[in-house]
């Protein structure tokens, strides 16, 4: 009896059993329905890509376990986390400031203000606590006007049972940050 076909089938079966789940991509960027159109001739607020610590600004979905960062085995961000977070914050600020045009893309003309955002610390803990420490500066076009600055610590609690839950928790975190920024900066 020829064992070769049986061994080949057995080896193929073992290899397929070891195959990992397909990679899933997640985003915290807003849906198109969340975007608002600014008024005509609205003041332009340019928000360049926010700054994150280098070890977090990847496509890896990371959870902190003490001093160890655990990467998701099959979940990834659809783009670098800083890009998705910037898009989400811009959309949220657009909703909070309908009288302004908030954009993450450099305008052709000099914007009325530039809003720089730095995330100094961001942790998503295995216990379901997400916290960030952020600072921001709004630099007006008029150099005689002083820059406006702010900072905040934002926390949310929720499930981190799977990658979709982690993405939802970080979305809540960045939405709350955008709301804090919006309320801290008076209209100019």
Q: What is the per-residue pLDDT for 29? A: 77
Instruction: Provide the number of structural domains found in the chain.
Output: 1
Task: Establish if 162 belongs to a structural domain.
Answer: yes
7 assigned to some structural domain: no
Q: Please count the helices (runs of H) and the strands (runs of E) in the chain.
A: 3, 8
5 is a domain residue: no
In a domain, 9, yes or no: no
pLDDT, residue 15, reads 52
pTM of the model: 0.85
Q: Residue 163 sits in a domain of what CATH number?
A: 3.40.50.10610
Tell me, yes or no, whether 14 lies in a domain. Answer: no
pLDDT at 55: 92
Long-range interactions of 136-141: CB distance < 8 A, separation 24+ = 136/181, 136/184, 138/45, 138/113, 138/114, 138/185, 139/113, 139/114, 139/115, 140/112, 140/113, 140/188, 141/110, 141/111, 141/112, 141/113
- Supply the pLDDT for residue 40: 75
The boundaries of the domain holding residue 115 are 24-184
Per-10-residue mean pLDDT, the chain, length 188: 59 57 89 68 94 94 94 95 95 92 92 97 96 97 92 97 96 97 85
**pLDDT at 21 (0 to 100):** 80
């Amino acid at each position: 009896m020829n064992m070769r076909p049986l061994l080949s089938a057995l080896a193929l079966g073992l290899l397929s059993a070891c195959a990992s789940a397909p990679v899933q991509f997640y985003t915290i960027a807003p849906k198109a329905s969340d975007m608002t159109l600014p008024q005509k001739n609205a003041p332009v607020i340019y928000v360049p890509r926010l700054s994150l610590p280098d070890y977090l600004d990847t496509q890896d979905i990371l959870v902190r376990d003490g001093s160890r960062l655990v990467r998701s085995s099959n979940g990834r961000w659809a783009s670098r986390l800083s890009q998705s977070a910037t898009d989400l914050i811009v959309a949220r600020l657009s909703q909070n400031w309908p009288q302004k045009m908030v954009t993450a893309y450099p305008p052709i003309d000099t914007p009325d203000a530039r809003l720089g955002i730095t995330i100094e610390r961001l942790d998503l803990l295995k216990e379901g606590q997400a916290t960030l420490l952020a600072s921001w500066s709004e630099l007006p076009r008029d150099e005689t006007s002083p820059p406006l600055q702010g900072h905040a610590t934002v926390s949310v609690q929720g499930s981190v049972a799977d990658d979709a839950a982690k993405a939802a928790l970080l979305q809540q975190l960045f939405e709350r940050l955008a709301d804090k920024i919006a309320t801290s900066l008076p209209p100019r």
